[in-house]
Amino acid sequence: MTLWSLAVFVLVAAGTAAVGMRVSAWRTRALARLTRRAAVAAPAIPSAAMAWRELIDRIGSSVPGSPKDLPRLKRRLLRGGFRDPAALRIFQGARPVLAAAFGLAGVFAVWRTNMNLLTIPAAAMAGYMAPGQYLMFRIKRRQHALQRGLPNALDLMVVCVESGLGIDQSTIQVAKELRHAHPEICEEFGVVNLELRAGKRRAEALHNLAERTGIDDMKKLVAVLVQTDRFGTSIAQSLRGHADYLRTLARQRAEERASKLAVKLVFPIFFCVLPSLFVVTIGPVITRLVRDLIPMIENM
C-alpha cells in the first residue's frame, strides 16, 4: 500500500511540474508577443520551463551519442512531430535526468518501505526508457491522425486538380483549408511546399514526405503521384481512385477490429461480469442455506 501511495505521489508531482512548466512557457510566449513591437528590448523574464530546457539541452550536448543511432533517432523525432533543431539534444538530456530522478525515487522507496535493492536500478532503467516510450506514443498518435485525415485531403486535392490547379498549388490549398480539421497532414504538406520552394525536385520532396510520416498509405500515395508525374497520366483520376482505395481499406480495417471485439470481450466478461452475476444470483441462496440448513443439521 505504501508503494502505491509513493507511486501516486510521484505521478501527481510529475504531472503538477509538467503543468507548471507548460503554464510558465505560455506566459513567456505571451509576453514575447506583447513586447515584440517595443523599440527597446526589455530584460528577459526568467522562466522555469526555459531554465529546465536549457539545463537538459546542456546535459544532452555533453552526453555522447552513437553515430549509427543518431540518424535513426532524428528520423523518429521527425515522425513524432519534433522539428526543433534542439529536439535531439533535449531527448538525449532527458534520459539521464529522468534516470536520476527515478533512481532517487527508488532510493526513497527502499529507505521508507524496506523494499528490495533491485528497485533502485529498475526505477533508474524505467526513467531512462520513459522518453523513448513517450516518443513511440507520439509517433503512433501522429501516424493515426495522418492516416485518418489522408482520404479527406485526397478528396480536396481531387477538387483542386479538377478546377485547374497543379499538384504544388493543390497541396498549398489543402494545407490552408484543412489546417484546423487535420493539422498534422497540413503541416506535412507545408513542409513539402517549402522543400519545393528551396529547389528540390518534386519526386525527392514526395519521397521525403513518405519517409517523414512512415505510414504505408502515404507511401502508396507518393508512389501514385511520382508515377503520374513521370508518365503524364491523369492526376485527378489517379487521386480519385487512390482516395476510394483508402476509404475501402479504412472500412475493411474497421470491420476487422469489429470482428476481433467479441474475442477481446471474453476476458473482461469472464473476470468482471460473471463473478458479479454469481454473487447476485447465487449469493442469496447460499445465505439462506447457511441460515436455515446449518441450524437444522445441528438440531438433528
Give the chain's domains with CATH numbers. 2-31+48-139 (no CATH), 143-260 (1.20.81)
Question: What b/e readout covers 213-226, taking b as 16+ CB neighbours within 10 angstroms?
Answer: bbbebbbbbbebbb
Give the CA distances from residue 24 to residues 19, 38, 218, in Å, rounded to whole numbers and listed in that order. Answer: 8, 22, 37
Average pLDDT over residues 77-88: 87
pLDDT at 37: 46
How confident is the model over 197-244, as pLDDT tens digits? 888 898 899 899 989 888 888 888 888 888 888 887 788 888 888 888
Residues 25 and 50 sit within 8 Å (Cβ to Cβ): yes
Q: How confident is the model at residue 164 (pLDDT cuts 50, 70, 90)?
A: confident
Residues 53 and 97 sit within 8 Å (Cβ to Cβ): no
Average pLDDT over residues 131-140: 92
Q: How confident is the model at residue 125 (pLDDT cuts 50, 70, 90)?
A: very high
Q: In angstroms, how far is the first alpha carbon of the chain from the final one? A: 48
Q: How confident is the model at residue 21 (pLDDT cuts 50, 70, 90)?
A: low
pTM listed for this prediction: 0.70
pLDDT at 27: 61
How confident is the model over 268-289, as pLDDT tens digits? 888 888 888 888 888 888 887 7
- Angle 119-162/70-79 helices, nearest 10 degrees? 60
pLDDT at 41 over 50: no
CB contact set of 172 (below 8 Å; sequence gap of 6+): 189, 193
pLDDT at 136 over 90: yes
CB contact set of 167 (below 8 Å; sequence gap of 6+): 161, 202, 225, 229, 235
pLDDT at 36 over 80: no
Percent of the chain with pLDDT over 70: 81
Percent of the chain with pLDDT over 90: 6
Average pLDDT over residues 82-92: 86
Please give the full DSSP string across 65-98, using - where no structure is assigned. Answer: --TTTHHHHHHHHHHTT---TTHHHHHHHHHHHH
What would the grid cell of residue 39 be?
523599440
Residues 136 and 162 sit within 8 Å (Cβ to Cβ): no
pLDDT at 111 over 50: yes
pLDDT at 202: 87
Return phi, psi of residue 138, to 5°: -65, -40
pLDDT at 199: 87
C-alpha Rg value of the chain to the nearest Å = 28
- Looking at every residue in the chain, the average pLDDT score rounds to 80
